[in-house]
Chains A and B, each alone.
Chain A
Amino acid sequence: MEIATLLSVGLSNGCLYGLVGLGLVLVYSSQGIPNFAHGELFMAGAFLAYTAIVLLGLPYFLSFLIAVVGIGLMGMLLEWLAIRPISLHRSLGRASSEVAIVLATVGLAIVLKGLARIPWGDSVRNLPTAFTTQTVTIGGVAIATQRLLIVAVTLVLTVAISVFFARAPLGKKMRATAQNPTGAKLIGIHTSNIYSATWALAAACGAIAGVLAAPLIFLHPDMGTRMLLKGFAAACLGGFGSVTGVLLGGVLMGVVEIFAGRYIATSMMDIFAPIIIILVLLFWPQGLFGARRAARV
């Protein structure tokens, strides 16, 4: 019974880590940079849903959709306003351009957090759960309905994104751009638009995670910082180049984290993510599920 309880919580926490990690992986695969503002997109999604549900009184699932689409557009806008001008700056070499973009994402994180404080201040707010029934009992284990929703949405999203990349023309263009931007340009793909679309998709993933997580962790302008670290750990563990890998990495991390907390020490739980990042980067830099890249020299 206890194992089942721990598994249910570890699995849902892991799905959240995986969803946050997924947004990081999408941008990294496309542009080769970690997006340090992704935690703030997670936060912005949660606050947009809060506005729709609590302040405007809209139904939960409509608000969910508004938050995901809204933050997706915001991701696109951020790419257009802050990232694209740097990547197109001809005086910067490739390496300098990447460093400048990474720094720009750090700046974006600070700006978005600061902007969130203007209307929301520093009060901690509650986002209602999707269902009025808080828990259901399955096989004698009380599971929060919100956690079931998290697992279900993550599964659906994983399948949807995998199908999108395998079948959809835009998904194929994204893969082509990620694999070889110059080649993609040569065959007529407008890579700048592809980068915008990637940022939109990544931001939407962050928003989904934010809306799903908010009822469990409360809303606050700083709520994305900790989750970003967890997402990074999930992406490192699963591999920065793999969609299913990052989700599996997140789930593995969530489950191991809660079991370590229960059977070793609860104080271990929060230091687990940085430990994973260090160990994986040292011994499996490609991640557990990522493909080893060969470089021609």
Chain B
Amino acid sequence: MKTSVRLSLVASAALALTFAMAAPHARADDPGITPTSIKIGMIGSLTGPAAAWGWPTINGARMVYDAVNAQGGINGRKIELVVEDEQCAPPMALAAAKKLIHRDKVFMLHGGSCSGSILATRDEVLANEVPMMILVATMDKIVQEKPNDYIYRAFLPGSFDGKIIADFIATMPNVKRVVVVGHADEHAGARYGTLTEGLKKHGVELLGLETIETELTDATAQVLKIKDAKPDAVVLVGRPAASAVFLKDAHRLGLDVPMIGATVVDLQDLADRIGGTDALKNMYVVAVYKGPLGSEAMTPWQEMLKKYYPSDKVQASSFLGTSGALAVVEGLKKAGPDLTRAKFVEAMNGIQNLDGGPMACSLSFSAADHDGCRTGVMWGVRDGKIVVIGDRWKN
């Protein structure tokens, strides 16, 4: 009798161990899940230097969750959101992540408007095995540095931005000498490496990097220095307000070479800030969307934003976080009704060719690669209108 009991215990232990081995890290009591809700913590730059991207990108993602909730949720669970401000400051971002993970006990995180600040949360997120979808932060290593089993991104990483610009410049006629104008922050730094490499590969001389402040009020000194260098083109890796100031002054001071902007800026937004497209006649920008605002491809998303956030201004930055929310919803659906963090991660790793919604890219993730979006194309201004140019220059 004693032997059979002992055997039963050993068999039970072995069975339990087998299940545990089959689903590593699976926890039945993962936080943030109830029979009727899934709690997601969102982090954004609601105030501070990148505040212009805060609520627009958060709401662009929230509208997807709102739409899902309006249709009854996912497997009977509605998505409950807790939003925290990171002020584009690393200590604030880390504090926000800790609060959401430990006090609010969220199931997962969706956030990050500033690369430098959200990078500070990386160790905390990985140590606590919390799945995270990056909102719009583009620094490569947030997602690409190993090990990373939990952090995903459905937005073009910064290094790809730099590569797309370098490849586009290589197709432009008579462009052999380039000056880069940009900030001295992580956001811009994410692009400089591949941009420099790409320019070198294509035989384009990099004449120098001219720094601009994020709160630039006048760019006369920078423009005059660039004019002295006589470049064939200028690459602009600046945040929207600073880029608008630079372009305004470049136009006023007669710097009329082609300018190529990173995804940080949007042509329509620049035109709104500058007050027309005159200063943008020779401007190209890496775009991540399927089409300009108002185009057929963007209309459903614009309508969705108006429906859930009618007071929000429909602007280019509004939909930068949408693809991430679409990927999260897909992952949650695929993870099934017995949701755990491990099942969600497994489901995310299995997503292939998911429509990126407003994004031009389709989303594919794997266990080895959590950067799901790798496509961007150039847009430019022709006859005062914003048009899709493609990945090669054309007149």
Contacts and interface: CB of A to CB of B under 8 A. Distances in A.
Interface residues of A, number: 30
Nearest to A261: B221
A148 to B, nearest CB: 13
A266 B217 contact: no
A32 interface: no
Interface residues of B, number: 34
B253 A142 contact: yes
Contact of B224 (A2, A134, A218): A2
A13 B252 contact: no
B81 interface: no
B273 A124 contact: yes
Given A5-B253, A135-B252, A218-B273, A123 B313 contact: yes
Contact of B272 (A121, A126, A144, A226): A126
B83 interface: no
Contact of A258 (B55, B212, B221): B221
B245 A217 contact: yes
B220 A5 contact: yes
Interface in B91-105: none
A126 B313 CA distance: 14
Interface string A104-147: 00000000000001000111101010000011000000101000
B218 A216 contact: yes
A98 interface: no
B5 to A, nearest CB: 67
A121 B47 contact: no
B222 A261 contact: yes
Q: Interface on chain A toward B: helix, strand, loop, or mixed SS? A: helix
Nearest to B315: A123
A122 B55 contact: yes
B213 A269 contact: yes
Nearest to B48: A222
Nearest to B317: A123
B217 A13 contact: yes
B225 interface: yes
Contacts of A52: none
Given A2-B224, A6-B220, A134-B252, 7 more contacts: A5-B253, A123-B52, A124-B273, A126-B275, A220-B51, A266-B221, A267-B184
Interface of A: 2, 5-6, 9, 13, 117, 121-124, 126, 128, 134-135, 142, 144, 213, 216-218, 220, 222, 226, 258, 261-262, 266-267, 269-270
7 contacts: A122-B51, A122-B52, A216-B217, A258-B218, A262-B220, A262-B221, A269-B221
